[in-house]
Chain A
Amino acid sequence: MTEQTTRLVLPSHIEAVADAAAAAADFARSCGVAEEAAFGIDMSVREAITNAIVHGNKEDDTKQVEITFSCSPHAVEIEVRDQGEGFDPAVVPDPTAAENLLKTSGRGNFLMRSFMDEVTWQARPEGGTSVRMLKKF
């Protein structure tokens, strides 16, 4: 059962990444998340928000990013929604494959998957993408 929920609406500016990370840190602390898990949450929130702002909303001032944090006694769930044109995670190549190691981008989703226990992307019926991330503790 969910015990706590916090929702934030952010502008599509890179500066909002730090605001989202600060909110995630506060939320993780209030949920009693240990330092190691909190680092993974911080990293994943930064990557998800960066994706939403840069690749989803394309830094369009008229679009927003919404982030919702929920915690239950054994897990934190985070959902990030953008208003972009949609995104298929399957098309992102494996950044750890030898031929991709020297690419300068494309590691965000990989890091989210590495640090969280579950990461799922969904196209929103009203447009845009929603990414849901779960960290158990």
Chain B
Amino acid sequence: MAELNIRERQAGDVTVLDMDGRITIGDGSLALRSAVRRLLEEGKKKILLNLAGVGYIDSSGIGELVSSYTAINKEGGQLKLLSLTQKLQDLLTITKLLTVFDAYDTEAEALSSFK
């Protein structure tokens, strides 16, 4: 089984990536990178990462989230996070990245926050 499974769906003009697994060095980080880069190539610049199914992320995975965020911003888009597990929330808090990312508990809130 893949380390990280990513399912794509469209909610209006926002692309939601439902992620399930681990975002760690190697396959998990690469899967996230490929998915985000592909969306940018397709012109999809409003991206919501649903992390409800991601129970684990390492420093490489955190770096990939940051890389995705900056790549999307550079293209004039927006990346937001949905449904952080407690462990992810703790990790993003201690690394102070919750001050960078917009994170939401519900999909409705997240979707309405996109401009």
Please tell me if B24 contacts chain A, counting CB pairs below 8 Å: yes
Please tell me if B66 contacts chain A, counting CB pairs below 8 Å: yes
Residues of A within 8 A of B38 (CB): none
Residues of B within 8 A of A111 (CB): 58-59, 91, 94-95
CA distance A107 to B60 in the complex (A): 8
Mark each residue of chain B from 47 to 81: 1 if its CB lies under 8 Å from any CB of chain A, else 0: 00000000000111011101101100000000000
Residues of A within 8 A of B62 (CB): 107
Contact residues of A between 25 and 50, Cβ < 8 Å to B: 39, 43, 46-47, 50
Contact indicator B26/A14 (Cβ below 8 Å): yes
Most A CB atoms within 10 A — which of B58, B66, B91, B95? B58
CA distance A46 to B94 in the complex (A): 18
Majority SS at the chain B contact face = helix
Which among B59, B60, B91, B100 is the interface contact of A101 at CB below 8 angstroms?
B100
Please tell me if A110 contacts chain B, counting CB pairs below 8 Å: yes
**Can you name 27 A-B pairs with beta carbons within 8 Å?**
A14-B25, A14-B26, A15-B26, A17-B24, A43-B58, A47-B58, A47-B59, A50-B25, A50-B58, A50-B59, A50-B60, A95-B95, A96-B95, A101-B66, A101-B96, A102-B100, A103-B66, A104-B63, A104-B67, A104-B70, A105-B59, A107-B59, A107-B62, A107-B95, A111-B59, A111-B94, A111-B95
